[in-house]
Each structure stands twice: as C-alpha cells, then as structure tokens.
Amino acid sequence: MPASSPSLDLSADVVSLTAAVCDIPSVSHEEAPLADAVEAALRTRPGLTVTRIGHTVVARTELGRAERVVLAGHLDTVPLTSDPANLPTRRVPGPDGDVLWGRGTVDMKGGVAVMLRVAERLPEPSRDVTYVFYEAEEVDERFNGLLTVQREAPHLVADAQFAVLLEPTGSQVEGGCKGTLRALVSTKGVAAHSARPWNGHNAIHDASEILARLVGYEPATVEVDGLEYREAMNAVKVEGGIAGNVIPDRCVVTVNYRYAPSVSPQEADAHVRQVFSGFDVDVVDNAGGARPGLDLPAARAFVEALGLPVTAKQGWTDVARFSAMGVPAVNFGPGDPNLAHMDDERCPVEDYVACEAAVLRWLG
C-alpha cells in the first residue's frame, strides 16, 4: 500500500478507531481506500489468513477450534451530503456522555471497528473466527460483497456454525430475519372511452377483489427457535390507467409478503399464488429469511455472554445470506438504526465500548 494511503491503528481504543474508519470515506463503489487500510492492518496480525475479493476482505483464524463463527460488517456508506457535519467525524459531549457524529457512525463503521479491535485483542479466541468486511451493501444486490463471497468463495464462510452481523441494533440482539417477497398481481380489462364505459371493462375496478383479499388476510405469527416472527402481507403500490378519459385495460397491485424464516422462498411463492388464485401473479423478488439458530452452542454462548434478551428481527438483513449457506445468524451492533443515513447520524460512544466488551466476553 502506498505510504500516502490512509492507515488504521488497531491498538487505538474502539471509539478512536471508529472515528478513523469513518474518516476514510467509502461511499458504495468507492470502498477501495478503506478496504486497503483494513487489509493492510489485518495482514500485520499474527495467525490470520487474509483474502481479498474486490473491495471485500476476509480474514480467518485457523486454530483448530471445535466451532467457527463469523463476524461480518459492510465497509460502504450511503453518499455524503452537503451538511459539513457528515465528515470528518466529531466527538461532542452530551448530557449522558460523549457522542460521535458523522457519516458511518451508526451504519455501520462502529461494527467494523469492533471487529478490528477483536482481531487485535484476541489473536487466539475461544472459537475460530472468520471476519468478513464487505463492499456495496447499500446499493443494488448484484454488487453486494457478501453475495460475491457466497458465489465465488463460499468455502471462506460456509464452514461456520454461527454468524453475527454487526449492523446497528441499539446494542440489542435481533435473531435471524424474515423473508421478503414482492409480487405483481394484475387484472386485465378492455379499454374504452370513459363516456361509454359499457364498451369496455374497467381493470381498476376488478382490483378491488385483490385489495379485499388483502384486507381479509390474517397473517400468521410463527415461532422459530424460540422467537416470534409476525408475518405481513400488504399492497405497497397500485398502478393503472393511461388517461383521464380512458377506461383502464390493466391494473397492477404490488404486494409485499414478509414471511417467517421457517418458510422457504418456494413455499412463500406458492402461498402468494394461492391467496390470489384467479389473478395473474408475477413474483419479481423473493429473498428468504434466516433462522437465528438459538439452539446451537455458539448462539447460546453468545446470548449468555451478552446477558441481553433476544428479539426477532422483523425486517430483512444480510443475515439471510448466511442462512442461504446454512449458517444461522443474529444482528447485534452499536448505534440506533433510526439514525442510519441521516444528516445528523450519531452514536453514543458508550455503545461502541459496550459492543466491543460483549463480543470480547463471548470469544475470550
């Protein structure tokens, strides 16, 4: 790495390291300088095997432990804004302690800094660890670095028994995640002049039956590995009509189905088609969920070490990519997710300290 390139001091405290990681801008597709710094820092650590794939860095211990776990976090952020508060970071006193302000302080460079600190402080953890620092999480799925690893080098992560994604959760443990399916449910009519509607057939009016089925739909609450996932099915968009004086010949209702991680994508697809039997259904996106795996020894030890209750992740996150490789996962990281991507993105420094201490307790 050229001498002028940014570098990271892994011996710095986790708050200073978070600020340093944030201060290397890494908007999606521009992660190279940060990936270079992470790679260079990890290559100085004894006992780590480091692999670079694009702007994704994977580092593994090879200690022959009985279990292997993954710590994962993405390097990219959403774009900076004109607000000068975005970067560089600044540490500001607050009524309940100092707060670190700036892009990435929540989503999710605090989690990245925790991973780096664990790699520094635990050269011989109680479990073998695979650290995954990946690119392009904030943009279209096809660029996602974790997906690239899954496709091109699954052996780097698929041998783990459990994974922790250090996305911001307010330092709470959120187990697994729900799957998400998006379908276009269509009606077909016959176009005509709106002054003479009897010459046509109104496709928008027919969509009332689609909406009625959604209103009457009773979503299930499904228990998976001891956590309750609340399913949901909703219309999120309605499109139809071409002009103010034409009876519409087509109407499309976009339906989003959020399903429990015990349901496969194929089962979710079949369920949506059953609900809208008689209509044209085109499933355009379907990403399965992730089981939390709380019955596994590594997961139980994680929960016990943190001493925190575990709730079900009601959204979808990249833990699902681990599930696709047969690796159960949870979400746990510093920062309030409600502040992610905001101009005033900020995080109490105590969140970083507490998260680092928790992961060290688990792996130490």
- Clarify whether residues 102 and 199 are in a common domain: no
Q: Do residue 203 and residue 229 come from a single domain?
A: yes
Q: How many CB atoms lie within 10 A of CB 203?
A: 21
Instruction: Write the CB contacts of 66 (distance below 8 Å, at least 6 apart in sequence).
Output: 127
Give the pLDDT score at 315.
86
Mean pLDDT in residue range 299-316: 88
**CA-CA distances (angstroms) from residue 32 to 54, 133, 172, 276?**
8, 12, 31, 46
Residue 316 lies in a domain: yes
Q: Clarify whether residues 276 and 296 are in a common domain.
A: no
Question: Quick one: tokens of 236?
Answer: 């999120």
Q: What is the mean pLDDT of residues 316-340?
A: 89
Tell me how far apart the alpha carbons of residues 240 and 155 are, in angstroms, rounded to a whole number: 47
Residue 314 confidence (pLDDT): 87
Residues 31, 36, 39, 76: which is the catalytic one? 76
Q: Which domain holds residue 274?
A: 179-287
Non-local CB neighbours of 55 within 8 Å, separated by 6+ positions: 31, 32, 35, 75, 135, 136, 145
Residue 70's nearest CA partner among 342, 330, 338 is: 330
**Mean pLDDT computed over 183-189:** 98
Q: CA–CA separation, 344 vs 342, rounded Å?
A: 5
The answer on 280 and 297 residing in a single domain is no
Question: Is residue 3 predicted with pLDDT exceeding 50?
Answer: no
Statement: residue 213 has pLDDT above 70:
yes
Domain boundary among 265, 287, 309: 287
Does residue 5 lie within any of the structural domains?
Answer: no
Residue 141's CATH number: 3.40.630.10
Annotated active-site residue 218? The verdict is no
In a domain, 326, yes or no: yes
Same domain, residue pair 166 and 43: yes
Express each pLDDT in 222-241 by its tens digit.
999 889 999 999 999 999 99
Q: Residue 137 catalytic? A: yes
Q: What is the DSSP letter of 169?
A: S
C-alpha span between 28 and 135 (Å, rounded): 7
- pLDDT, position 1: 47
Tell me the average pLDDT across 278-286: 96
Please report which confidence band the pLDDT of residue 62 belongs to, taking 50, 70 and 90 as the band edges.
very high
Cβ atoms of 335 and 170 within 8 Å: the answer is: yes
Catalytic residue among 137, 206, 249, 345: 137
Q: Does 364 or 4 have the greater pLDDT score?
A: 364
| SS3 label, residue 217 | coil
Tokens representing residue 24 in the block: 């290397």
Q: Is the pLDDT of residue 298 over 80?
A: yes
